[in-house]
């Protein structure tokens, strides 16, 4: 469906824009006969403007659809990470490390650290540092 929309938007715009320009040039040209100007106005209002509007609307709807899809993708990824986080918290009695979250959620360690820092502030977690300097988050 998206491919058809792209094709139709392209066709409408490729027809509408150039012919609109030609018709407008014909209308504003002082050397054009009155009958030709009337025909150009009719062609502009019946063929080229509706085609351009339709192509523009289809293009706009494709952009909006892509934005909605990206939003849904981000939301589903956030929910997936949240589920992994909650599962790890439950299985490890409230203790979690950046590496555990990164590995289990299949995200970068930087993203895991940012996520855990955000959750730590949100939920009031405590921090534990072992002798190797690794930080564990303790959620109660």
pLDDT in tens, 50-103: 999 999 999 999 999 999 999 999 999 999 999 999 999 999 999 999 999 999
Rg (CA), the chain: 29
Q: Virtual CA dihedral for 33, 50, 13, 54, nearest 10 degrees?
A: 180
Q: What is the mean pLDDT of residues 2-27?
A: 93
- Would the pLDDT of 127 be above 80? yes
Distance CA 120, CA 47 (A): 61
The pLDDT, as a whole number, for residue 1 is 84
- Taking the whole predicted model, whether its pTM rises above 0.75 is answered as no
Q: What is the DSSP string of the chain?
A: -HHHHHHHHHHHHHHHHHHHHHHHHHHH-TTS-HHHHHHHHHHIIIIIHHHHHHHHHHHHHHHHHHHHHHHHHHHHHHHHHHHHHHHHHHHTTTEEEHHHHHHHHT--HHHHHHHHHHHHHHHT-EEEE-TT--EEEE--
Q: What is the mean pLDDT of residues 39-53?
A: 93
The pLDDT, as a whole number, for residue 43 is 92
């Amino acid at each position: 469906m998206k491919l058809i929309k792209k094709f139709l938007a392209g066709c409408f715009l490729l027809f509408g824009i150039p012919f609109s320009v030609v018709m407008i040039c014909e209308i504003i040209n002082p050397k054009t006969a009155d009958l030709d100007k009337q025909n150009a106005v009719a062609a502009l209002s019946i063929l080229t403007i509706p085609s351009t509007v339709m192509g523009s609307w289809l293009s706009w709807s494709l952009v909006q659809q892509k934005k909605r899809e990206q939003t849904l993708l981000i939301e589903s990824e956030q929910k997936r990470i949240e589920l992994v986080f909650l599962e790890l918290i439950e299985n490890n009695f409230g203790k979690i490390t950046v590496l555990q979250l990164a590995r289990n959620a299949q995200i970068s360690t930087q993203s895991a650290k940012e996520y855990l820092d955000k959750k730590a502030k949100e939920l009031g977690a405590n921090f534990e540092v072992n002798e190797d300097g690794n930080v564990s988050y303790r959620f109660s």
